[in-house]
Structure 1
Amino acid sequence: MSTTMSNGPADGPGNGPAVSRWEFDAMFERVRTWGRWEPAERGAWNRVGADHVRRAAALVRSGTVVPLGRPWDTTSGPDNRKPALHYMSDLGDVEAPEPSTHKDFVGADYHGKGISHLDALSHVAYRGRLYGGGAARELVGAAGARFGSVAALGPLVTRGVLLDLPAVQGRAWLEPGQAVHAGDVAAAEEALGVEIAEGDAVLLRTGRFRRRRELGPWDADAACAGFHVDAVPLLAERGIALLGGDGDSDVRPSPVEGVHSPVHTLAVAAMGVPLLDNLDVEELAAACAGTDRYDFLLLVSPLNIPGGTGSPVNPVAVL
C-alpha cells in the first residue's frame, strides 16, 4: 500500500454521537458469547486451535522478529501515574564465593497507560458480572481471581492483523479523542489488503507513540484515539480471539453514557476477548509497510500468575 504521510493529523478529534446506556446494553447482548466454550475462563482463546497455529506459522517469510512491548517505564508522567519499579538487590557484594552476582527487583501496578500488558477475563465486570455471568464480588477477592485469571489463558500463537489507521488516512497519527468506527475498520482492510478472520488477533495502530515522541506525553486517560463501540459488532462477527494496540482499544472520552471503558466491557465481559494495552507498534507498522502485507505470526505469552487479572507482556510479531 502506498500513502503520502503528512506531518500531523489532517482533522481534529471527534468520536461521533453519544451512545445511550440502553443502546449499549442491547449491543452487549448482541455480542455476548457466555456459555459457548469450555473452559469458559479462556474465553475467545478457545477459538485458536492447532490449525490456526499452523496457518499463522506459514505467514513467516523473511523471519523478521518485531517486539511490541514498551520499555519498562519507571518515570512518572501524565500517561504513567503508576511508574514501574526497578532497583538492584545485589551489587555483587553479598555472596562471598566466586563468581559474584548481580540481582535486581522489578514490580508494577501495570493496569494503566504506562506498561504494555494483557487484560485477562477477570479484569472487567459489567453490572457486577464477569464473563460467563459469575458475580465479580464472589469470584475476585484479596487473594486474586478464582475465575478468569491470566494463568488460565496460557500462551497464544495465532495470526495477527495490524490495522494501521494513520497510514490508511495519510496521517502521521490519529489525534487523541478520534474514534475508529466500523466503516474505518472495513476501509482499512480494503486499503491494506487484509481481512480479519476467525481466531485472529487484531492490533490497532493510532500512532500514539509516534505522536508522544514528537510532541510529548499527555493524559491518555482523558483523551486517546481508539475504537468506537460501533466497531465491536463487526469484530465479533469475524470471531476474533484477541484485541489490542498502542492505546487500550477504547476511544476516550467514552461515547457511552455512564460507561468509562465500553470497548473493554464488550470485549472482555461480553465476548471473552482478552485485550493487549499500550503496545508500541511503530516498528511493526514500518515492517508491514516495507513488505506490503499486514498479517503475521503473533506470539503472546503472559506470566503464569495464579489469580492474576492480567500480566505485563512483550508480544512478538514474526513476518
Structure 2
Amino acid sequence: MTTSIPTMRELGRQLGNWGRWGPEDERGTTNLITPERVAAAARLVRTGDVFDLGIPLDQNGPQPGGYRINPIRLMSETGQEQVFPGGFKYADDYVFMPLQAGSQYDSLAHVHYDDRLYNGHPVSGLTVKGADKCGIDTQARGIAGRGVLLDIARFRGVDWLESGSAVGPDELDRVAAAQGVEVGPGDILLIRTGWRARFLAEHDAASFMAGEPGLGLGCAAWLRERDVAVVGSDNFGVEVMPGENPGAMFELHMVLIRDMGMTLAEMLDLEDLAEACATDGVYDFFYTGSPLKFTRGAGSPINPLAIR
C-alpha cells in the first residue's frame, strides 16, 4: 500500500506557527529556547569535552560552483615590505563567499511561496538590499540550548544513507528509543545521515550536491508535535533530495521555514560527536552556535559546538 503524502500547502496550513508569538515575530521556533531551557541544558555538561561541528571554510569544501562556491580567502597584508617602529609586522586577509557556503543557518527569509515569508511578512521586503523581515540578524542573540543527536546511519548499520533515502517520523521514534533519548520542546535536533562521512571518503563535491538522504515531509508534523526549536543535519539541505512529490523541490524547507518558522542548520560535521555519543550512550548535550550578525542576511556561516 502506498502512503499518501500531504501537499506542502496542506502541511503548512496544519502546522504553521503564524501569529503564535505575535504578529510582528521574526524569530519563529527559536522563541522556544527560553532562559529556563538554556539553564537546564547547561547542566548537561558532564565531562567538558567540546566538539566542533563546523566544516572548514576553504577551497576543499562541498560547494562545486555554479550558484554557490567554496570560500575564497585573499591575503591583503603578510608583513612583507612593512616598516614599523620596533619591528612590528601584521597579516590581514579578506574572504569572498556565499553566506551559505560551509556549515550554515538558513534564515527565515531564505525561502518563501505565495508572496509571503514566515508569519505573513510580505516578500516585497526581500530586495537586493536584503530581507527587511526575518533576516539572520534576528537570531543574533545566539542559538544555544539542549542539543540531541539522532544517528540514523548508525541505527541502520551503514556508513552513510544513499542519496534519495527518506527518513520518516516512525524511524525518528525508533532511533530515539534505541538511543534512550527523548526529543522535546526547545531542543536543537541534529540528524546524522553519514553524508559528511561520504564526502570525507570520496571528496566529490558534485556528487555531494547532486542529491542526498534526509528527512521526509512526514517529519514536519513530528517536529511540530515536539516543539523542536532548530533542526540540523550533515547534508546540504536537511531534507531528502530528490523530494517525495515529483515536480516539486525543497518542500520541507518551505513548510519548516516559511510556515513553522524553524531555523535550519546545514552541512554540519557530526562524525566525532557521533562516536562519542555511541561510546557512552549519551545523546544529549549543550549546544551553542551563533550566526554572524549580517544585517538582512538570508543566512550565515556558523561554527557550532556541542559540549558534553
TM-score, scaled relative to structure 1: 0.89
Separation in 2, partners of 1:78, 1:198: 33
Paired residues for 1:43-192 under 5 Å: 43-75=28-60, 79=64, 81=66, 82-93=69-80, 95-97=82-84, 98-111=87-100, 114-136=101-123, 138-154=124-140, 155-192=142-179
> Does the C-alpha gap of structure 1 residues 77 and 221 become closer, same or farther in structure 2, counting only changes over 3 Å?
closer
Alignment size in residue pairs: 299
Q: Which moved more, 1:72-81 or 1:170-179?
A: 72-81
The residue aligned with 1:224 is 212
2:304 paired with 1:315: yes
Paired residues for 1:178-217 under 5 Å: 178-217=165-204
What's the offset of the Cα at 1:103?
0.9
Contact 2:38 2:145 in 1 (8 A): yes
Separation in 2, partners of 1:94, 1:135: 53
Contact 2:53 2:303 in 1 (8 A): yes
SS at match of 1:199: coil
> Does the C-alpha gap of structure 1 residues 289 and 76 become closer, same or farther in structure 2, counting only changes over 3 Å?
closer
SS at match of 1:162: strand
Contact 2:30 2:230 in 1 (8 A): yes
> Does the C-alpha gap of structure 1 residues 227 and 80 become closer, same or farther in structure 2, counting only changes over 3 Å?
farther
What's the offset of the Cα at 1:257?
3.8
Separation in 2, partners of 1:183, 1:77: 30
Separation in 1, partners of 2:60, 2:274: 26
What's the offset of the Cα at 1:78?
6.7
Contact 1:75 1:84 in 2 (8 A): no
Separation in 2, partners of 1:71, 1:18: 40
**What RMSD, in angstroms, separates the aligned Cα atoms of the two structures?**
1.8
Provide, for residues 143-194 of structure 1, a one-character-per-residue CA deviation record: whole Å limited to 9, x for no partner. Answer: 1111001111120111011110011111111111111001111111101111
Identity %: 32
Deviation >6 Å, runs of 4+: none
What's the offset of the Cα at 1:293?
0.8
Q: Which moved more, 1:257-266 or 1:232-241?
A: 257-266
> Does the C-alpha gap of structure 1 residues 94 and 31 become closer, same or farther in structure 2, counting only changes over 3 Å?
farther
Separation in 1, partners of 2:163, 2:10: 27
> Does the C-alpha gap of structure 1 residues 162 and 77 become closer, same or farther in structure 2, counting only changes over 3 Å?
closer
SS at match of 2:274: helix
SS at match of 2:28: helix
Provide, for residues 8-42 of structure 1, a one-character-per-residue CA deviation record: whole Å limited to 9, x for no partner. Answer: xxxxxxxx87846xx32111111100011145111
SS at match of 1:220: helix
Contact 2:195 2:208 in 1 (8 A): no
Separation in 1, partners of 2:194, 2:277: 14
SS at match of 1:219: helix
SS at match of 1:196: coil
Contact 2:26 2:108 in 1 (8 A): yes
TM-score, scaled relative to structure 2: 0.92
